[in-house]
């Protein structure tokens, strides 16, 4: 009986650890589309705005992952590649995205 409790406890701990670690991966795996206008946005309100205006004719990619503070975010190398290859880049420009200033 005692072995069963130990095994159940270990299994429960492993399940909890697995559930916690599933949120650690990057969920932003958006790719540029060849048959649509590619629009890169820096945070969610601009993303939603571009999606509603463009409809089915655009492929909108939001750089900022959900739950991340814009001031703490740093672009990955794939984000920079996607931004340079997109047809349109929309950002706030009022100092919110300090690392995204376009010269």
> What is the C-alpha to C-alpha distance for residues 17 and 74, in angstroms, rounded to an integer?
27
pLDDT at 34 over 80: yes
> What pLDDT does residue 103 have?
47
Q: Which of 17-31, 36-50, 85-99 has the lowest mean pLDDT?
A: 17-31
**pLDDT above 70: percentage of residues in the chain:** 78
Is residue 67 classed exposed, middle or buried when 0-12, 13-18 and 19+ CB atoms within 10 A define those classes?
exposed
The count of C-alpha atoms lying within 13 angstroms of the C-alpha of 76, restricted to the half-sphere facing its C-beta, is: 12
CATH numbers and ranges of domains, the chain: 27-100 (3.40.50.1980)
Q: What sign does the dihedral 78-80-81-85 (CA atoms) show?
A: positive
Confidence of residue 68 (pLDDT cuts 50, 70, 90): confident
Average pLDDT over residues 16-23: 67
pLDDT(101) > 60: no
Indicate the average pLDDT of the chain: 80
Percent of the chain at pLDDT exceeding 90:
28
pTM of the prediction?
0.62
CA distance 61 to 38: 8
């Amino acid at each position: 009986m005692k072995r069963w409790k130990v095994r159940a406890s270990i299994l429960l701990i492993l399940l909890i650890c697995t559930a916690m670690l599933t949120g650690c991966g990057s969920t932003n795996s958006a790719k540029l589309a060849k048959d649509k206008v590619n629009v890169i946005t820096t945070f969610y309100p601009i993303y939603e705005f571009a999606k509603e205006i463009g409809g089915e004719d655009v492929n909108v990619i939001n750089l900022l992952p959900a739950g991340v503070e814009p001031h703490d975010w740093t672009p990955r190398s794939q984000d920079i590649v996607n931004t340079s290859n997109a047809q349109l880049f929309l950002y706030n420009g009022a100092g919110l995205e300090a690392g995204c200033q376009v010269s």
